[in-house]
Amino acid sequence: MAPASLSIVALLVGAQIIYTSIRFLRNLRAAQRSGLPYTWSPVHELEAPAFITDGFLRWYYKDYLQQGKGWPRWARFMIKDWQYEDRGRATREYGDCFLVVTFNSLMCYISDPNAASRLVTRRKAFIKPPDKMKILEPFGPNVVSVEGDLWKFHLGITLPPLAAEAVARLVWEETARQVDMMVATWRPEDSMKERIYALTMNTMSLAGFGHQAEWGEGDRPDRVPPGHEYSLVSALTHVVSHLPHILLLPRWVLRWSPWPVAYRAANELDQYIDEMLAEEREKLERGDAGEAYRENLLTAVLRSNIAAEKSKDAAAIGRTALTHEEIKGNVFIFLVAGYDTTANTALFSSLVLALHKEVQDRILQEIDAVYNRAQKAGRSELSYTDDFPQFRYLVAFMYEVMRVFPIVQTLGRVAVGEQEVPLSKGGHVVPDGSYLVVNNTAIHYNPDIWPSPDVIEPRRWLVADPHGLDPAKPLTPEQEAEIAAGSVPIPGNRRGTFLSFGEGPRACLGRSFARVEFVAIMSRMLRKHRLEMTDHDAEQAARVLRTARLRSGSGPVTLIPPEDVPMRLAPRK
Ligand code: HEM
């Protein structure tokens, strides 16, 4: 290289170093001025270089994590979703609200229930991070990604479908059908993860898109309609397994990327949704959505939108209905928000059941009791309306699994203007634009909030004060009586103490959907079988349990188990 070019390169590098150092000092000063405890890290988990640090450090520290000491301090903040393995250690070191300074950003971590609740409840003062939300719009703006009046408008059209009784019934019945197919084809050597993912994907295919899938149909060429390259199930599966690529890369870049399958699957899904919307719109407008018509999320959003279109009252945003792109965006986001969250909850639950015989025994007792009751009432199959509400221990178990394995580990918000963050002891004002992250794991594992937090005890959720039941102590007579009466609402936790479904106005819209699907999976799968680890001995079971409690599987969206444990369905005696 010529000396002149070398000087230019040296000058540019020098300028970059000076610029970065100034930014770092500016961030550091802002942290000092805030009065909050702070620390620093070269890279932050939400910054682009974390894609490299995360992969490398997770690989390098795999065995170290197994010792149960969490992450080494210096590495912690460079790991995506470091919170699960950390189990609140950072909170104990720096406090319930502290800052992490990097060269490019200033991040505030919160594990105080008051502050967490305020953050997620005051939706205008703390908005979702706009840059992260934009990424969620590859098919169009949607109820997860938008803010303000536009969000209220999307909510008005998408909430009724997600709360619709017809959709819940569809989820209940289809899940049971899918479980039967899964059980009938069960081979011990199959992956539990793949089975549960296929099950929830097939359920989503009908509940979300109106297509009833047969077990294993994703790979069958006869399921590919004319004009398509993939079956719907196959397109959906490829889209979710390539989600990070589809979300992060524009479609034209994706085309020439090393993941052409992601490009083709995204296009296929686009085309499927367009075709389905055109067909359903025509049906609804012709009025032939008669008795046999089965509502699903796509048709329900369309119906809700057509009703809005016909109304004369334009919303605050100056129109009455969602655009075509927005309908597509919402149908897509139901898939993203509802598929792997529910699948991983079922997966962790299966693992817990296989490893905690006493919990599984109680669930089996409840399943038998509900079936007996149904049979006495002349029903051979369980119904959504009559039987789903009877599954109290199973729902409590779901919440307990989601507390111990926080499927969504953090809730991120950005302060609009200077905002107060109230802590249980005192409070702090954060400047405009501050990035705040609620650390769900630290809250779920705080022994002052959840006594003996490491213990999996579903009965916490069956008493009036879930924070008053300590699994390390015998139950009080009042607690026994509340459990026996079976009338305490689930969940009954204090605000800001259980955040796996979020809280406040932006809380999960699909939580009823997820509860129905979960109860249908477990009650049907365990009707005649029990879950066991294949060829296990006590030592292996202890290792599996320890690994699942100490390490996350580093999923792109939600917490996933670190390994796929061989399991079998053993016929019940
Ligand atoms: C166990 C399963 C699920 C978990 C753990 C879960 C978790 C969450 C969480 C934590 C949030 C709030 C995020 C925040 O405040 O930043 C959320 C929002 C949302 N969830 Fe779920 N979810 C589940 C299932 C579902 C299902 C099945 C659907 C739909 C079919 C769904 C649709 C949504 C939507 C649309 C939102 C956005 C609400 C808004 O921004 O206004 N979720 N979910």
∠ CA(83), CA(143), CA(228), 5° rounding? 100
pLDDT level of residue 90 (50, 70, 90 thresholds): very high
Mean pLDDT rounded to a whole number for the chain: 91
Same domain, 395 and 518: yes
The arithmetic mean of pLDDT across residues 340-354, rounded, is 94
Best mutation site among 127, 298, 341, 403 for ligand 1, i.e. most ligand atoms within 8 A of its Cβ? 341
* Residue 489 lies inside a defined structural domain of this protein: no
What is the predicted pLDDT for the residue at 121? 95
Short-list 219, 501, 523, CA closest to 338:
501
Q: Identify the CATH number of the domain in which residue 157 sits.
A: 1.10.630.10
Q: How far apart are CA 508 and CA 511, in angstroms?
A: 6
How confident is residue 304, by pLDDT bands cut at 50, 70 and 90?
Answer: confident
The answer to whether residues 263 and 188 belong to one domain is yes
pLDDT exceeds cutoff 70 at 553: yes
Position 497 in a domain = no
The domain boundary residue, chosen from 422, 441, 460: 441
Q: Which of 31-35, 441-445, 542-546 has the highest mean pLDDT?
A: 441-445
Ligand 1 geometric centre to CA of 511 (Å): 7
Q: Mutation test of ligand 1: which of 508, 509, 558 has the most ligand atoms closer than 8 Å to its C-beta?
A: 508
Whether residue 97 is annotated as binding a ligand: the answer is no
Measured in Å, residue 223 CA sits from the centre of ligand 1 at 30
Same domain? For 122 and 212 the reply is no
Helix axes 297-310, 324-355, angle to 10 degrees: 150
Q: Are 79 and 58 in contact (CB under 8 A)?
A: yes
Residues 153 and 299 in one domain: yes
206 and 174 co-located in one domain: yes
How do residues 147-191 score in pLDDT, each as one tens digit?
999 999 999 989 988 888 888 999 999 999 999 999 999 887 888
Q: Which of 389, 423, 441 is the last residue of a domain?
A: 441
> What is the gyration radius of the CA atoms in the chain, in angstroms?
25
Task: Note down the domain range covering 9.
Answer: 3-140+412-441
Amino acid identity, position 438 = V
- Could you tell me if 532 and 567 lie in one domain? yes
For residue 155, give the ligand 1 atom closest to its CA: 41
Average pLDDT over residues 502-527: 96
Q: Is the CB of 143 under 6 A from ligand 1?
A: yes
Q: Are residues 422 and 307 in the same domain?
A: no
Identify whether the C-beta of residue 518 lies closer than 8 Å to the C-beta of residue 199: no
Q: Is 226 exposed, middle or buried (0-12, 13-18, 19+ CB in 10 A)?
A: exposed
Q: Is residue 456 part of a domain?
A: no
336, 334, 270, 341: which is closest to 296 by C-alpha? 334
Residues 453-478: pLDDT tens digits?
A: 999 999 999 999 999 999 999 999 99
Mean pLDDT throughout 383-408?
97
- 485 located within any domain: no
Q: Are residues 428 and 384 in the same domain?
A: no
| Global ipTM | 0.99
The more confidently predicted of residues 149 and 7 is: 149
Q: Which residues contact 438 (CB under 8 A, 6 or more apart)?
A: 110, 111, 116, 119, 120, 410, 411, 412, 413, 499
Q: Are residues 65 and 154 in the same domain?
A: no
- Listed residue (508, 331, 333, 496) closest to 408, CA to CA: 508
Q: What is the DSSP string of 39-97?
A: EE-SS-TTSTTHHHHHHHHHHHTHHHHTTT--S-TTTGGGSTTTHHHHTTHHHHHH-SE
Least confidently predicted of 15-19, 98-102, 131-135, 218-222? 218-222
- Considering its fold, how many domains does the chain have in total? 2
Distance from the alpha carbon of residue 342 to the mean position of ligand 1, in angstroms:
10
Q: Output the residue whose Cα is nearest ligand 1's atom 21.
A: 508
